[in-house]
Amino acid sequence: MKEKIENFPKQLKFKPELKNDKEWALKERYLLVGMGGSHLQGDILKALLPDFPLSIHSDYGLPSLISENTGIIIASFSGNTAEAIDALEVAIERKISVAVIAKGGTLLEIAKKEGIPYIQLKEEDIQPRHALGYSVKALLSLFNMEELSRKIEKVSKKLEEKQENLRKSGKRTAKIMEDKIPIIYSSQRNYALSYNWKIKFNETSKIPGFYNLIPELNHNEMTGFDITKNTKKLSQKMIFIFLRDNEDDLRNQKRMDVTASLFKERGLDVLDIEVEGKTRIEKIFTSLLFADWISYYLAQYYGVVIEDVPMVEEFKKMI
């Protein structure tokens, strides 16, 4: 697993190849269908280009109202995700423009049989959350975003240069977080980061982990931590991670300051982590790589098998 995290920057150099490309045309808007780690590439794209007309669908089937000007992308790293397969079958039945992103499995079999546009991800034994470089590059390829793709490739070298510092810092941070439940807070614009951090703690470290966004949490969630004598023990197991970004709206930066201050006054554990980098792209991928290292060392502390997701596999068999 350590080697896979170290090799992550190389994913950003992935050159995706679109097959059956004549059947794919650019549209006015798009819908990405994917579950868990298989829709994270869409979240990242929205973080980079907030105004890009892309929506996420994480469920069976497709929304009932889809215009002719909407392109559907079905994403599943394994290619065997039940919800994704169902959505593809619905798209074919309704004759909706669709493309597939997958490593293999049933999705690629259907795409090849039906002549549907598809991009095959690299055959590598990793979980979807650790294949984000491949999936982001594949998604950009579908949208002909060559310039953005080149910018992401350039970040690869910077990430390689940062790796050792990120690893050491991740190890120190994991030590602080031992025996604590992480609650990750970020601004709305950094939703992709806080959600990804949560997933890495859940799947890699096998621990509870949750996230929320400022300013929304200031209107509800934080009141759950206004501790009293009878509720203090509920919050003492938690550590609140504030993902700080100097590009956030100044009003939201102030909200983070005040929220963190209120929590500290109540004796709650607070950890401030800067989202570091010279560009938006660098900030996003540096933060995600840092979370990988933290979750890796937490997994070592708890003695869990990092790659396995036994409850997910058990659940799939039961349904």
CATH of the domain at 181: 3.40.50.10490
Residue 214 near residue 251 (C-beta atoms within 8 A): no
The pLDDT tens digits for 181-208 are 999 999 999 999 999 999 999 999 999 9
The mean of the pLDDT values for the chain is: 94
Domain count, the chain: 2
Tokens of 183: 């609650």
- Supply the pLDDT for residue 306: 77
Rg of the chain over all Cα atoms, to the nearest angstrom: 20
Structural domain includes residue 37: yes
pLDDT of 108-144, one tens digit each?
Answer: 999 999 999 999 998 877 777 788 899 999 999 999 9
Pairing of the two strands 70-76 and 54-57: unpaired
Give 62-95 pLDDT, tens digit per residue.
998 888 899 999 999 999 999 999 999 999 999 9
In a domain, 309, yes or no: no
Please give the share of the chain, as a percent, with pLDDT higher than 70. Answer: 100
Single out the residue of 166, 148, 175 nearest to residue 277, CA to CA: 166
- Residue 50: count other Cβ atoms within 10 Å of its Cβ: 9
Q: Which residues contact 191 (CB under 8 A, 6 or more apart)?
A: 43, 47, 213
311 is a domain residue: no
Whether 292 and 162 have beta carbons less than 8 Å apart is answered as no
Dig out the tokens for 12 from the structure. Answer: 């950003």
For residue 178, the enclosing domain spans 157-302
In a shared domain, residues 20 and 129: yes
Q: Is 96 among the domain residues? A: yes
